Amino acid sequence: MSSHLLFAKQPDAVRLRLAAVLLFLVGVGVAAAQDVARTFLKVPYLQAPGSDTMTIMWESPTSKPGVVHYGLRGKLNQELRLDTPRELVVASPSSGGVSGGNISNTVFLYEMTLTNLEPNSVYTYSAETDGVSTPSKRFKTFGAHPNKVTFIAYGDTRSNPKLHATIAANFKRYSPDFILHTGDLVSAGKRHELWGREFFEPLAQVIDEVPILPAIGNHEQDGINYLHYLHLPGRETAWYSCDVGPVHVLSLDYRYDKEGDEQFAFARRDLLASKSPWKIVMLHFPVFNIGGHGTRWGHAAYLPLFHQAKVDMVIAGHSHIYERFHPIAPKTGADKWPITHITTGGGGAPLYTTSPHPALAAQVATNHFLVIEATSTSLRGRAMTTNNTVIDKFEIKKSGGRLASKYLATVYSEEMLNLAFDAVPSLAAELDSVPGTNSAAQVMFTIRPIGRMKQPVELEIGLTPDSAANYEIKDGPLHVTTPSPTEPSRVVWATVRATGQKKVEAAGTRRELSPALVFQARVRAGTDETLAYGQKTKVSEAASEAAKK
């Protein structure tokens, strides 16, 4: 049988791994390629970069000693040896036998840190174990004090290895110094086989020469395999920081959002001590996020710290969309430093919907990645699709540590953005029945006080543009006033019909309407106005019983 027919007959996951290995082995003979594929289950990849250090890791079925050969100017005249790799006993779903059963297997993880390297220098390296050597690859150490760095940022690569590979294939054309990953590297972090299929194989032709710096996501689950496979700079925890030229990066573990956590103490010391021109925080859960999950992480402890420490940008994932906020800053208080918040979760997981908002500079539901270039006075970014089309671009400038007036003129009030989030619970609507064109349904809203506001807030409740194509509210938008902070919540009702454009039904165990029925509200506090979005409306017994009274 010819080799191309053999390749075509393999399952998708096997074909992806073969393709990754074959790309890694360009220029190597067939026999040697087979040896490398058999010996290196995960081909060498770069971790924990620095101006004088680089860590090289790989996974193998053998426990034989490993050697990294490396050197300058294309030579392999230095070496580092590891006699005893780390043993991992992994469980993977069985391909046959009892349904749902697992099989155990032992693999070995090689982790070798090169030190005393020359700054801003290109090294050639090759990994060897059990008499098999990989083809030569290259990496570049960080400059001791570089004036410019370029990096990629993206995230949520789980679920679709082919799409992840398509996105990753673009990275090297931008010559990045490093890659930031905002989490959810794989669909289920406890499942060993997914780390190869969804993360390492799509990136095999990238992270062999460009180091990747990730943040832990909720799909990494307990994080044990995450910490097995990733050597984070200077830490044995999932949070860490590093400096690259004019950029300081702090990566946080979304699971720890309290001021009393060890992570917060580390973050506070780290951010307040940094003198870098640009401070960037990366984590999985967004601090602000309109579409997708609508997440609001770390407001009690971390957001005040970010303003105090003059963090310039927070990059997150979790919602599978692209969002860039206008700079967000409070109107009052001592620390009013504006922060640009970006959600980049378009690395391969199923996409979510986006919604426009006055606080957003850009929002797109598409697969994408960011290319960011930083100098001591400029932070310039482009959001790119899988075919390298620009969907957003921005530039933040500083002079003498002061932000440019043009940037400051676009600041959106943090108080108003928080007010929009505070109004969301009042838009959690429930239906007494499924609306039709000839049969109306009653919608129940529970209007809640907004604690941070001393006075009641006006809500003009209507339909989102997408929902307005399939539903209509009798007598137009609903106008309500929130109770004062000392008053209880109250129930108000509206009547909704279907327009007949699509068949309407209550889908799934949650009985959410399909097509989705989502309400929005114009939120007014005095002369200020913002916009809030609810979640998908469902049919509930509670609304049905309440409507009968």
Report the alpha-carbon distance of residue 250 to residue 237 in Å, rounded.
Answer: 13
The answer to whether 164 touches 202, Cβ cutoff 8 Å, is: yes
pLDDT in tens, 104-118: 789 999 999 999 999
Radius of gyration of the chain (CA): 26
Q: Can you tell me the mean pLDDT for 505-521?
A: 94
163 φψ region: left (φ > 0), alpha (ψ -120 to 50), beta (else): alpha
Q: Does residue 158 form part of some domain? A: yes
pLDDT score, position 19: 58
Tell me which of 94, 114, 143 is where a domain ends: 143
Q: Does residue 42 form part of some domain? A: yes
If asked whether residues 290 and 348 sit together in one domain, one would say: yes
Q: Which residues are 86's β-sheet partners?
A: 109
If asked whether residues 58 and 133 sit together in one domain, one would say: yes
Question: What CATH number does the domain containing 220 carry?
Answer: 3.60.21.10
If asked whether residues 372 and 447 sit together in one domain, one would say: no
What's the Cα-to-Cα distance from 259 to each of 52, 263, 297, 489, rounded to whole Å?
34, 8, 13, 31
Tell me which of 108, 143, 178 is where a domain ends: 143
Report the alpha-carbon distance of residue 134 to residue 489 in Å, rounded.
Answer: 66
If asked whether residues 214 and 352 sit together in one domain, one would say: yes
Q: Does residue 2 form part of some domain? A: no
Q: Does residue 528 form part of some domain? A: yes
Structural element, H or E, at residue 375: strand 368-375
If asked whether residues 514 and 531 sit together in one domain, one would say: yes
Q: Which residues are 479's β-sheet partners?
A: 460
The answer to whether 365 touches 351, Cβ cutoff 8 Å, is: yes
Question: What CATH number does the domain containing 41 carry?
Answer: 2.60.40.380
pLDDT in tens, 74-89: 999 999 999 999 999 9
Q: Can you tell me the mean pLDDT for 37-53?
A: 95
Could you tell me the pLDDT band of residue 209, with boundaries at 50, 70 and 90?
very high
pLDDT score, position 144: 77
If asked whether residues 123 and 195 sit together in one domain, one would say: no
If asked whether residues 156 and 221 sit together in one domain, one would say: yes
Question: What CATH number does the domain containing 544 carry?
Answer: 2.60.40
- Which one, of 461, 450, 524, lies nearest residue 487 by Cα? 450
Domain total of the chain: 3
DSSP-assigned letters across all residues of 48-107: S--SS-EEEEEEES--S-EEEEEEETT---EEEEESSPEEEEEEEE-SSSSTT-EEEEEE
pLDDT score, position 32: 75
Average pLDDT of the chain is 92
Full residue range of the structural domain in which residue 308 is found? 145-410
pLDDT in tens, 488-507: 999 999 999 999 999 999 98
Q: Does residue 25 form part of some domain? A: no
